[in-house]
Amino acid sequence: MLISIVVPVFNEEENIDAFYSEVCKYMEPLPLTFEMIFVDDGSRDATPLILDRLSQADSRVRALIMARNFGHQVALSCGLDHADGDAVITMDGDMQHPPSMLPQLIETWQSGYQVVQTIRKATEGVSWFKKFTSSTYYKLINSISQIHVTEGGSDFRLMDKQVVASFRLFRERARFIRGMISAIGYKQATIEFTAPPRYAGTSKFSLRRMLHFALDGITAYSKMPLRIAFYIGVLCGIASFAVTLHVLYIKLFTEEAVPGWATISASILLLGGLQLTGLGIIGEYVGRIFEEVKQRPLYWLRADLRQECPSRSVFEKNKKITCDIRENCL
């Protein structure tokens, strides 16, 4: 029985060795074999070289070096595409997904569940703002989407090989894997945990990335924004018609002067702003359609590193690039 552990990393040179040791600590006593598939998402530090060293020292380690930064969700998909285990576990390499939970995930899977999803109940050291925005986002997406995404859901999960085979059929570019797993079905279980602080370094998930990730989740699983734009347009049309009747009444049946500039200016600004908002929502969906119809690959690799890997020469040619960034690399 083989367990594949997929770990996307981006500039995690300070965490990889500690993460590798912790995974081995909890996986080696189990009566099964395992492999670690690290996916380097275009790191600019010594991360690729550390992965190179680990892959040569341990045959259970494989490193996929992506040609550039494609994003966390695509890096996860890359690892899942290359995982051949009877079950596949996805987790981050910053130690916020505790390796100590790996035996529990496997035990739950062996009891008959095909997806074992972890639910983050709390994260040590996270600001109130991030907690508030996360809670609000999950409430929003669940209110407008046909699928239910559990609040606190993370990308720390175990999937049976049958689920992974089904997941590989989903090739959309705007990937919201938490929603995809919720929609994929199969027998699922959840395990709650409290995420510890990062072992080292800082989070690479900036506010811009979080907003982009949130937008992917909403547009991938809901047409409600388009419907809201339509409803607002109808209401504004009715309001504009009522204002027009009011102006005609003042003009025809009273002697009062029509203060047209204020009314017209306000109406133009209101309607123009709402129209641009509606066009922006439509444009977001059209833009995603445009990305899909080009049918470009989700990602491509610079190297696939493992013991006696035939593509090692490809990586060696690019080794100088990383060394130029980090002079004291391995």
State the pLDDT confidence band at 177, using cuts at 50, 70 and 90.
Answer: confident
Rounded Cα distance, 232 and 180, in Å: 30
| Full residue range of the structural domain in which residue 167 is found | 2-206+300-325
Q: 266 versus 118: which is more confidently predicted? A: 118
Ranking 49-53, 256-260, 264-268 by mean pLDDT, the lowest is 256-260
Smallest Cα–Cα separation from 1: which of 35, 37, 26?
35
Backbone angles phi, psi at 118, to 5 degrees: -95, 145
Q: 166 versus 311: which is more confidently predicted? A: 166
The reply to whether 217 falls in a domain is: no
State the pLDDT confidence band at 36, using cuts at 50, 70 and 90.
Answer: very high
Question: Any residues with CB less than 8 A from the CB of 64 and at least 6 apart, and which?
Answer: 37, 38, 39, 40, 78, 79, 82, 301, 303, 304, 305
Pairing of strands 301-305, 2-9: unpaired
State the pLDDT confidence band at 302, using cuts at 50, 70 and 90.
Answer: confident
> Quick one: tokens of 287?
């833009």
The reply to whether 213 falls in a domain is: no
Give the residue-averaged pLDDT of 168-182.
Answer: 80
Q: Residue 326: what pLDDT?
A: 40
Decide: helix, strand or coil at residue 133.
helix
pLDDT, tens digit, 9 for 90 and up, residues 184-223: 888 888 888 877 766 565 655 555 555 655 566 555 656 6
Q: Are residues 123 and 75 in the same domain?
A: yes
Q: Residue 87: what pLDDT?
A: 92
First CA to last CA across the chain, in angstroms?
34
Q: Identify how many contiguous H helices and E strands the chain contains and give both numbers.
A: 11, 8
Cβ atoms 40, 10 nearer than 8 A: yes
The reply to whether 171 falls in a domain is: yes
Question: Is the pLDDT assigned to residue 1 strictly greater than 70?
Answer: yes
Question: Is the pLDDT assigned to residue 320 strictly greater than 50?
Answer: no
Decide: helix, strand or coil at residue 84.
coil
The reply to whether 173 falls in a domain is: yes
**What average pLDDT does the chain have?**
75
Question: Is the pLDDT assigned to residue 7 strictly greater than 80?
Answer: yes
Decide: helix, strand or coil at residue 191.
strand
Highest mean pLDDT among 59-63, 128-132, 178-182, 243-247: 59-63
Q: 215 versus 68: which is more confidently predicted? A: 68
Q: Are residues 111 and 252 in the same domain?
A: no
Q: Are residues 107 and 161 in the same domain?
A: yes
Cβ atoms 60, 76 nearer than 8 A: no
Residue 100 has a CB neighbour count (10 Å cut-off) of 12
Rounded Cα distance, 137 and 108, in Å: 29
The reply to whether 215 falls in a domain is: no
SS3 content of the chain, % helix, strand, coil (to 5): 50, 15, 30
Q: 59 versus 256: which is more confidently predicted? A: 59
The reply to whether 216 falls in a domain is: no
Per the structure, how many domains does the chain have?
Answer: 2
Classify 150 in phi/psi space as left (phi over 0), alpha (psi -120 to 50) or beta.
Answer: beta
317, amino acid identity: K
Q: 198 versus 19: which is more confidently predicted? A: 19
Q: Residue 315: what pLDDT?
A: 47
Q: Are residues 42 and 108 in the same domain?
A: yes
Q: Are residues 280 and 180 in the same domain?
A: no
Ranking 12-21, 121-130, 169-178, 192-201 by mean pLDDT, the lowest is 121-130
Q: Are residues 308 and 192 in the same domain?
A: yes
How many percent of the chain have pLDDT more than 90?
Answer: 14
Q: Are residues 271 and 314 in the same domain?
A: no
Give the residue-averaged pLDDT of 2-18.
Answer: 89
Give the residue-averaged pLDDT of 135-147.
Answer: 64
How many percent of the chain have pLDDT more than 70?
Answer: 61
Decide: helix, strand or coil at residue 221.
helix
> Quick one: tokens of 13?
């040179």
The reply to whether 9 falls in a domain is: yes
Question: Is the pLDDT assigned to residue 38 strictly greater than 90?
Answer: yes
Residue 165's CATH number: 3.90.550.10
Q: Are residues 308 and 283 in the same domain?
A: no
Q: Are residues 89 and 46 in the same domain?
A: yes
Question: Is the pLDDT assigned to residue 271 strictly greater than 80?
Answer: no
Q: Are residues 262 and 310 in the same domain?
A: no
Question: Is the pLDDT assigned to residue 88 strictly greater than 90?
Answer: yes
The reply to whether 114 falls in a domain is: yes
Residue 172 has a CB neighbour count (10 Å cut-off) of 13
Location of structure tokens 């547009």: 219
Q: Residue 175: what pLDDT?
A: 77
Q: 330 versus 157: which is more confidently predicted? A: 157
Q: Are residues 28 and 108 in the same domain?
A: yes
Q: Are residues 137 and 19 in the same domain?
A: yes
Rounded Cα distance, 91 and 97, in Å: 6
Q: Residue 39: what pLDDT?
A: 93
Question: Is the pLDDT assigned to residue 304 strictly greater than 70?
Answer: yes
Rounded Cα distance, 287 and 267, in Å: 29
Ranking 30-44, 52-66, 144-158 by mean pLDDT, the lowest is 144-158
Question: Is the pLDDT assigned to residue 250 strictly greater than 70?
Answer: no
